[in-house]
Amino acid sequence: MSPDLQRLIDLQRLESTIADAKAKIATHPQRLAEADAQLAAASRLLESAKNRLKDNQEARRALDKDIALYQGRLSKFRDQQSAVKTNKEYQALGHEIETAQKDLGGVEEKVIERMVEADAIAADVKQAESAFAARRKEIEAQKKQMSDELASVEASLTSATEARVALLKQLDQRLVSTFEQVARVRKGIAVTTATRDGLCSVCHVRLRPQVFQQIRQNDSIVQCDSCQRILYYVPPPPPAEGAIVR
Ligand SMILES: [Zn+2]
């Protein structure tokens, strides 16, 4: 293998590592925001169940006030009734008492409805709380994993960047220019392999036989006629010991 070709292969590997690392780092804030949004959605579900319970309790307090009001009215009528002088007055108060009792009964029915509702809502709250706790645990684990990944990608970016600087010092400036020129117009891929059947592995053009023959030597810098990428050849692995060679 020509040392320059080996360096260009290494440069390509480093450039690809750097590009992948940068792309991954760029997506991190978005992924973090998505995880936070999921947690916020889970928290809103819990909040809504808690709010329903609060509404129920407020309604219940209003009904309790009504009960106190009707009970006060009833006892006032009963006091008055025991003090009246005429039968007519007595009967009139009797009607008032009957009406107040009916009103009281209506409110008491509503209290029972609210109590039944409160039991169902309390069960919903409990379920929402455990669902939220589970979701939070899951999302926190996700975020922890994301931050571990970020740290490892940042570390690989740093080491690839340093290795690239060192490698560039060892490379002929003319080769670096060729590499950069091709990388710029070929989505960052300036070095690739020729396939075993003689194609450029990226643009798939068939290489001329003498060009392919030259690439197979791996001892010079040869570019694809079509896409200009620098090509090298990876020979097939030798057959494993004991394997039947046909
Ligand atoms: Zn090509």
Residue with tokens 């690989």: 156
Is the confidence at residue 193, as pLDDT, over 80? yes
- The percentage of residues in the chain with a pLDDT greater than 70, rounded to a whole number, is 98
Phi, psi of 239 (to 5 degrees): -60, 140
- Helix (H) / strand (E) element for 110: namely helix 87-170
Average pLDDT over residues 17-34: 97
Confidence category of residue 238, pLDDT binned at 50, 70, 90:
confident
Q: With 70 as the cut, is the pLDDT of residue 244 above it?
A: no
Q: Residues with Cβ within 5 Å of ion ligand 1?
A: 200, 203, 224, 226-227
Q: Is 242 helix (H, G, I), strand (E, B) or coil?
A: coil
Low-confidence winner among 52-56, 66-70, 140-144, 240-244 (lowest mean pLDDT): 240-244
Compute the distance from residue 108 Cα to the ligand 1 centre, in Å: 85
Give me the pLDDT at residue 245, please.
57
The helix/strand/coil state of 241 is coil
The model's pLDDT over 140-168, given as tens digits with 9 standing for 90+, comes to 999 999 999 999 999 999 999 999 999 99
- Quote the ligand 1 centre to 228 CA distance (angstroms): 6
Query: What rounded mean pLDDT belongs to the chain?
Result: 95
Using DSSP's 3-state secondary structure scheme, residue 222 falls into: strand
- Packed helices 173-185 and 3-83: angle between N→C axes, nearest 10 degrees: 40
CA of residue 157 to ligand 1 center, whole Å: 28
12 CA → ligand 1 middle, Å: 15
- On whether the CB atoms of residues 81 and 94 are closer than 8 A, the answer is yes
pLDDT at 207 (0 to 100)? 97
Supply the pLDDT for residue 243: 64
Q: What separation in Å is there between the alpha carbon of 206 and the centre of ligand 1?
A: 9
Burial status of residue 167 (CB atoms within 10 A of its CB: 0-12, 13-18, 19 or more)? middle
Across residues 23-45, what is the average pLDDT? Answer: 96
| Amino acid present at 70 | Y
Residue 240 pLDDT > 90, yes or no?
Answer: no
C-alpha 38, offset from chain centre: 7
Q: From the CA of 125, how far away is ligand 1's center (Å)?
A: 62
> What is the reported pLDDT for 136?
96
Within 10 angstroms of residue 40's Cβ, the number of other Cβ atoms is: 11
What's the DSSP call for residue 172?
-
Question: Which of 18-22, 69-73, 160-164, 242-246 has the weakest average pLDDT?
Answer: 242-246
Summarised one tens digit per residue, pLDDT across range 72-109 is 999 999 999 999 999 999 999 999 999 999 999 999 99
Q: In what order do the strands lie in the sheet with 222-223?
A: 191-194, 230-233, 222-223
pLDDT at 246: 57
Find the 195 Cα to ligand 1 centroid distance in Å: 11
Q: What is the pLDDT of residues 108-131, one digit of tens each?
A: 999 999 999 999 999 999 999 999
Confidence class for position 25, pLDDT limits 50, 70, 90 = very high
Ligand 1 center to residue 225 CA distance, Å? Answer: 7
Structure tokens at 189: 């891929």
